Structure 1
């Protein structure tokens, strides 16, 4: 039934628009699978039964490291080659630093152009990013939040102990790890106390919003939008509820910093936004803009950190020798006292272990979508304005021409194996889990600290092993905002004496 409906829509739209298509100037796009008029490759992808990253991985074997997929109105140019990524994002960074225009569904997440992650390349984006980096994510500023991280990780350890006691030693890894990461970011963002119920409610509401704005077929074929009006109404209602809920915490923070009789924590990201002048505008961000900026700050660092921890624990369970070696390094560094953030710089194997997690299990299979500011070329092919330029990360981090035995999880490749990778991509691209170039994730340094600290404490406090009801660890992944384990990891823990 769906096939017949899609065929009808295809014929109808093609008939209406064929004159316009004929008048367009022909461009030399990268190769890709032939598709149907108007719908392009949407039909083939839907019929493949694969996840999108699996479909891309299959296509690149046929069409090479730069290919084109036509997905309805979207032209997607997918790059999976490290040298091409360096050319685009480092050597010609300004040309590839913008974003494609957002669809109406995606626009629900924000009421204006006041966002960091999706703002078009220009003065607004520069103002917002500069404010975030200089005032919140600089190395000096991050040190001021050390007590916040220590408190959240202490609570993580206690949550794991409590859950293990209630369930015979079994704990859900991702749920606990992402809750700890979310708590850290909440404190950094709002600087006000929240009870656990409020924390869980905010997390749930933001997750619902992300699900609601996940691309649907009408994002690729706008003609189908009228058939999805209920979905849009639902997404708008979710956004309204989120705004109402978050604004209460914004008001609390504003009151604390304006009222000398109230005690406020020393600093929060929100403080930098209240009176921020963006691109010389006369007005400061509205309360709804503040909700958007705070939401993206929280979303960007929660799932990515949580999933890195889940994959890391999965690898420790599968590789007990690596787990023992990591514990031995922690023990030899700190003795019987609790790991502190200042100890991380001395733990060479821990650093290599985390880097190998990011290589083997990048937080996402694709960077946030790039666009070009003007028509350009790459590898001899045209890259038109409006095209979605996607960078497929496993194509680089699993490239046998770059890595020795890329399928093997081996932290020693970064210590004794002579392999290394500059995560910023400036010195060359081998892996880019946080993106590279002008749109590189501004929270890269913070994310590394969070993952290293949480992994160190979790290994120091517990010995991790397989759930006895399961035969082993399933390393299949799926893309849900970040790359999570297809079957969430429930592990057995034993407190270390």
Structure 2
């Protein structure tokens, strides 16, 4: 508390001397076209108010402000305006029709630059040659369907880990399991394998998971460095030292794995990118392998540094772990709550693969429309992120008759798009049938290219490149989990669908379910070995 009081007094003195310059800047920025409406800005109080808000508090405040000011509004957190858009048609105009103009990112804070190696990852890189190189590499070398198929043995391995984990917890918990930790660990194992190309032991995976989890859990603390970093680094020096320590530990863990991968790739017979891991050590092309040969398009064609590769690996692990695990938990929670939906899904599964012990393979998933409907409804009703990462524009533009000034942060509310009552009947209800033939979601395009009805992966040029992989993972694990277990509510406990904001929007009270095995663990493992 004393730190915040000292910071407030220091900022007051510093900003008083800058008040005249700020007024001059605001005057120079006046245009005939006005900014979107919004609450009044206080040079001192506004940053103190907004930077201390939690994500859940921020969303509730913004929802109130939208009811007051309309679908597009301006909030000044610091001196530059932040624009918030909560309308699907305006979002389509900005991110699809004027996609290139809205595809840039704002310059990062010093704290964020430390973690992303000075904007050398896909999510933070400016819209330009480096971003195109990094995104194209990920999409073509790792996320292309032909590459994704090569990771099928790894998915089977991770499914085995998850099922074994759930069965063990059920045996010690009178059949009751808390699923989120198991979901997170399973997804993390899979992403670590895809990133580094090796089946690491549990300790190594847990070490990587621990540093990534520490980074995510501490990230909100680093928001303070977005405002007057020279001062805040002094006032919150322990927090700054924590950030430095996290980054150093991350590099200590990741760099040996990167170097080992580089050495193995250079071995004769390895590194052709076509191998498939069969569990006996054959080479499988990984994300790190794809990064080792990249040449920087804006820095003399040099190779990426080890620190830059660490940042890209960190982004890859974070982007694909909690988002998928969170979506998986929401979907399974709804299947526990709605037993008739679980029964209908099981009927579809058994109609495709039979009622024996066969594993549900990825080719089988294409024959399950109700499964796809359940996944889509889960993403519509419970998108793992309620906001896309902020966009920005490199020149003054207009949207809906308002000025979007150069350098402004432009934010789009993902959840509001999927809950629009003009598009979806009873939008807060969980109804997979919407996405079947004749439903309002039939044939919906989640890329938003034609129109935006929901956008759980964002839309436009900065849309999440992992859309296809995420959909595959959700379909694969939901289908196999329903095939392996009967999922029931715990006696006397209702499934609570309240939300809590962390790195993703998770269940406030993590799902507890009673699971009953549909077959023995031995028969399950025998199937996976076939």
Pick from 390, 393, 414 the counterpart of residue 411 of structure 2. Answer: 390
The count of corresponding residues between Structure 1 and Structure 2 is 496
Shift of 1:49: 11
Q: In the alignment, what sits opposite 1:432?
A: 455
Q: In the alignment, what sits opposite 1:447?
A: 470
Q: In the alignment, what sits opposite 1:115?
A: 121
CA distance in 2, matches of 1:74, 1:146: 47
Shift of 1:6: 7.2
- Confirm or deny: 8 A CA contact 1:76 1:387 kept in the other structure: yes
CA distance in 2, matches of 1:430, 1:63: 22
- Establish whether residue 493 from structure 1 lines up as the match of residue 515 from structure 2: yes
For the residue of structure 2 that corresponds to 1:213, the secondary structure is: helix
Shift of 1:212: 3.0
For the residue of structure 2 that corresponds to 1:120, the secondary structure is: coil
- Establish whether residue 273 from structure 1 lines up as the match of residue 291 from structure 2: yes
| Shift in alpha-carbon separation, 1:169–1:73, aligned structure 2, 3 A | farther
| Shift in alpha-carbon separation, 1:34–1:10, aligned structure 2, 3 A | farther
- Establish whether residue 237 from structure 1 lines up as the match of residue 218 from structure 2: no
- Confirm or deny: 8 A CA contact 1:461 1:495 kept in the other structure: yes
| Bigger mean CA offset, 295-304 vs 25-34 | 25-34
CA distance in 2, matches of 1:192, 1:44: 43
- Confirm or deny: 8 A CA contact 1:137 1:443 kept in the other structure: yes
Q: In the alignment, what sits opposite 1:471?
A: 493
Pick from 159, 165, 172 the counterpart of residue 153 of structure 1. Answer: 159
Pick from 257, 265, 276 the counterpart of residue 265 of structure 2. Answer: 257
Q: In the alignment, what sits opposite 1:216?
A: 223
Shift of 1:35: 3.4
- Confirm or deny: 8 A CA contact 1:326 1:350 kept in the other structure: yes
| Shift in alpha-carbon separation, 1:224–1:277, aligned structure 2, 3 A | closer
Q: In the alignment, what sits opposite 1:16?
A: 17
Q: In the alignment, what sits opposite 2:525?
A: none
Shift of 1:423: 0.8
CA distance in 1, matches of 2:59, 2:482: 32
How do 1:154-169 residues align onto structure 2 when only pairs under 5 Å count? 154-169=160-175
TM-score normalised per structure 1: 0.95
Shift of 1:78: 0.7
For the residue of structure 1 that corresponds to 2:516, the secondary structure is: strand
Q: In the alignment, what sits opposite 1:317?
A: 336
For the residue of structure 1 that corresponds to 2:256, the secondary structure is: helix
- Confirm or deny: 8 A CA contact 2:51 2:223 kept in the other structure: no
Shift of 1:45: 8.0
- Confirm or deny: 8 A CA contact 1:93 1:438 kept in the other structure: yes
Q: In the alignment, what sits opposite 1:331?
A: 350
For the residue of structure 2 that corresponds to 1:51, the secondary structure is: helix
Moved over 3 A (4+): 1-11, 44-50, 220-225, 261-264
| Bigger mean CA offset, 10-19 vs 368-377 | 10-19
Deviations 1:217-246 (A, max 9, x none): 342454434211211111111110110111
Shift of 1:48: 9.9
CA distance in 2, matches of 1:283, 1:321: 57
| Shift in alpha-carbon separation, 1:446–1:399, aligned structure 2, 3 A | same
CA distance in 1, matches of 2:51, 2:194: 41
TM-score normalised per structure 2: 0.89
- Confirm or deny: 8 A CA contact 1:131 1:272 kept in the other structure: yes
| Bigger mean CA offset, 158-167 vs 88-97 | 158-167
| Bigger mean CA offset, 448-457 vs 287-296 | 287-296
Identify unmatched segments of 5+ residues in structure 1: none
CA distance in 2, matches of 1:371, 1:440: 14
How do 1:86-235 residues align onto structure 2 when only pairs under 5 Å count? 86-214=92-220, 215-222=222-229, 223-235=231-243
Backbone CA RMSD of aligned residues: 2.1
